[in-house]
Structure 1
Amino acid sequence: MTGYEPLNTLKPVADDIWIIDAPAIRFFGLPFPTRATVVRLENGDLWVHSPTKLTPELTVELRALGPVRHLVAPNWIHYAFVTEWQKVFGATTWAAPGVAQRAESRGHALHIDHLLDPLRAEAPWAGQIDQLIVMGSDVHREAVFFHRASRTLILTDLIENFEPQLQPWYMRPFLRLAGILAPHGGMPRDMRATFRGHHDSLRAAVEQMIGWAPERLILAHGRWFETGAVDELRRAFAFLFC
Structure 2
Amino acid sequence: MPQLQQIADNIWTVAAQHAFLGMHLGTRMTVVRLASGGLWLHSPVAAYPNATLHGPHALRRKRKDLPFSADLSDTPHPDWLNDLAPLVIRGCLLQETVFFHQRSRTLIASDLVENFKTSPHWLTRMYLKVCGLEGKITWGGPYRLLYRNRQAARACIDRLLEWPFERVVIAHGDLILRDAHLSIERGMAWLKA
Give your verdict on TM over 0.5.
Answer: yes
Alignment of 1:200-211 (within 5 A): 200-211=151-162
Alignment of 1:86-105 (within 5 A): 86=49, 90-104=50-64
Matching residue of 2:137: 185
Q: Counterpart amino acid of 1:176?
A: K
Instruction: Pick the aligned partner of 2:25 from 32, 44, 52.
Output: 32
Q: Counterpart amino acid of 2:107?
A: L
Q: Does 1:172 align with 2:128?
A: no
Q: Percent identity?
A: 32
1:167-213 C-alpha deviation (Å, 9 max, x unpaired): 3123212112223323x1211323311214x1111111111111002
- CA–CA distance in structure 2, aligned partners of residues 94 and 171 of structure 1: 31
TM-score by length of 2: 0.92
- CA–CA distance in structure 2, aligned partners of residues 14 and 158 of structure 1: 20
Instruction: Pick the aligned partner of 1:222 from 156, 169, 173.
Output: 173
- CA–CA distance in structure 2, aligned partners of residues 177 and 97 of structure 1: 32
CA contact (8 A) 2:22 2:123 kept: no
Instruction: Pick the aligned partner of 2:41 from 14, 27, 48.
Output: 48
- CA–CA distance in structure 2, aligned partners of residues 186 and 179 of structure 1: 8
Runs of 4+ in 1 over 4 A off after TM superposition: none
Name the one with the larger helix percent: 1
Matching residue of 1:124: 79
Q: CA deviation at 1:101?
A: 2.9
Matching residue of 2:5: 11
Q: Does 1:162 align with 2:146?
A: no
- CA–CA distance in structure 2, aligned partners of residues 52 and 151 of structure 1: 23
Q: Counterpart amino acid of 1:129?
A: L
- CA–CA distance in structure 2, aligned partners of residues 216 and 172 of structure 1: 25
CA RMSD, Structure 1 to Structure 2 (Å):
1.6
Q: Does 1:150 align with 2:101?
A: no
CA contact (8 A) 2:34 2:80 kept: yes
- CA–CA distance in structure 2, aligned partners of residues 117 and 170 of structure 1: 36
1:41-89 C-alpha deviation (Å, 9 max, x unpaired): 0010000000013xxxxxxxxxxxxxxxxxxxxxxxxxxxxxx212xxx
TM-score by length of 1: 0.75
- CA–CA distance in structure 2, aligned partners of residues 143 and 97 of structure 1: 11
CA contact (8 A) 1:179 1:185 kept: no
Q: Does 1:133 align with 2:88?
A: yes
Matching residue of 1:20: 14
Q: Counterpart amino acid of 2:163?
A: W
Q: Counterpart amino acid of 1:130?
A: A
- CA–CA distance in structure 2, aligned partners of residues 85 and 180 of structure 1: 33
Q: Counterpart amino acid of 1:171?
A: T
- CA–CA distance in structure 2, aligned partners of residues 33 and 136 of structure 1: 26
